[in-house]
Amino acid sequence: MLPAGVGMGDHVGLSESEKRSWDAFLESAALVYDRINSALIEAHDVTFFETQVLYILNGIPDRATRMGVLSQQLSLSPSRITQLVRGLESRGFVIRVRGEADKRVVMAQLTRAGGLCLQMALRTYSREVHKWYLAPLSRQQMTALGAIGRQVVERLGYQ
């Protein structure tokens, strides 16, 4: 049984085995995401996507980038990125700054507090990924899933 809102009905054009495979993928992805998101909120008061924003900013020189870059990297709408950054800003984890070359550009910049939050959140994130995604798999299954994920990403045109 898929979580509420996951799944698309009759899967016209898919065989029964394709349908079962797809449904199992959707259900597992939704449930693992929910567990990771819940653990991050409970332990650090940040969501999965807020952690992703902090992670991206942490890996960029000056720990700042345009809001549009965050939108592209996370495949989220600009309005959703604005909402995420606004929430992180209210807790002191990021600040919004104007671009030096073009003052019309709005950038998100990681603060020291945001970096500290990220360090703690990544420990929780890694623990939860291991617990719910990696631990149930054999090394061979883990390797196969990684290869499948890369193949799908390449097919979608991402590198």
Q: What is the CATH number of the domain that holds 91?
A: 1.10.10.10
Q: Is residue 149 domain-resident? A: no
Q: Is residue 154 domain-resident? A: no
Q: Is residue 72 domain-resident? A: yes
Domains: count for the chain = 1
Give 13-61 pLDDT, tens digit per residue: 889 999 999 999 999 999 999 999 999 999 999 999 999 999 999 999 8
State the Cα–Cα distance between residues 72 and 70, nearest whole angstrom.
Answer: 5
State the Cα–Cα distance between residues 25 and 96, nearest whole angstrom.
Answer: 37
Q: Is residue 105 domain-resident? A: yes
Which domain, by its residues, includes 51?
16-121
Q: Please, where are the H alpha helices in 45-77?
A: 48-58, 67-74
Q: Is residue 106 domain-resident? A: yes
Give 97-141 pLDDT, tens digit per residue: 987 777 888 899 999 999 999 999 999 999 999 999 999 999 999
Angle between helices 67-74 and 78-90 (to 10 degrees): 110
The pTM (predicted TM-score) of the whole model is 0.86
Q: Is residue 139 domain-resident? A: no
